């Protein structure tokens, strides 16, 4: 087994994937071991560019894949710090079991205590009225 490295891989299917890769060249035909392969799409908007990240194969919980070299057009090692940071952050988020609970089926994110949501509007109103009524203005 070779060393692990981050790589961008162009497949014969036309897909481009980003993954932590290890080349196994112990047999006659080398194979690639892909750890958490993802697809990244760059989206340009008037407000700037964004990177959309999603798993390469979406309907599985596996994180390791084997890829034969005849399915690869080209592969390049990536040293791009931004891409590697996006990849690592995505992997950390998907490994965190609680993180997926904040997403709704519509793609919107539920508000959590960590995001600053601490009470309902009614609870906040009652709390502020209580503070206001207990501290009469000085004349």
Which tens digit of pLDDT belongs to each residue from 23-79? 988 878 889 999 999 998 888 888 888 888 889 998 888 889 999 999 999 999 999
Q: Any idea what the Cα angle at residue 117 is, between residues 113 and 123, rounded to 5°?
A: 120
CA distance 133 to 139: 15
Q: Which CATH class is domain 4-102?
A: mainly beta
Domain positions in the chain are 4-102
Q: What is the pLDDT of residue 43?
A: 87
Which tens digit of pLDDT belongs to each residue from 88-130? 988 887 776 554 454 445 556 666 666 666 777 888 889 888 8
């Amino acid at each position: 087994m070779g060393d692990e490295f981050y790589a961008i891989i162009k497949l014969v299917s036309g897909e481009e994937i980003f993954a932590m890769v290890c080349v196994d060249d112990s047999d006659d035909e080398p194979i690639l071991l892909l750890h958490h392969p993802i697809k990244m799409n760059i989206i340009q908007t008037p407000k700037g560019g964004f990177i959309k990240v999603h798993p390469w194969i979406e309907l599985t919980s596996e994180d390791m894949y084997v890829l034969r070299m005849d399915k690869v057009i080209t592969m390049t090692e990536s040293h791009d710090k931004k891409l590697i940071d996006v990849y690592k952050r995505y992997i950390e988020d998907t490994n965190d079991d609680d993180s997926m609970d904040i997403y709704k089926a519509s793609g919107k994110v539920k508000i959590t205590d960590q995001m600053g949501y601490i009470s309902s509007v009614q609870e906040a109103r009652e709390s502020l009225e209580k503070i206001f009524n207990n501290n009469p203005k000085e004349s």
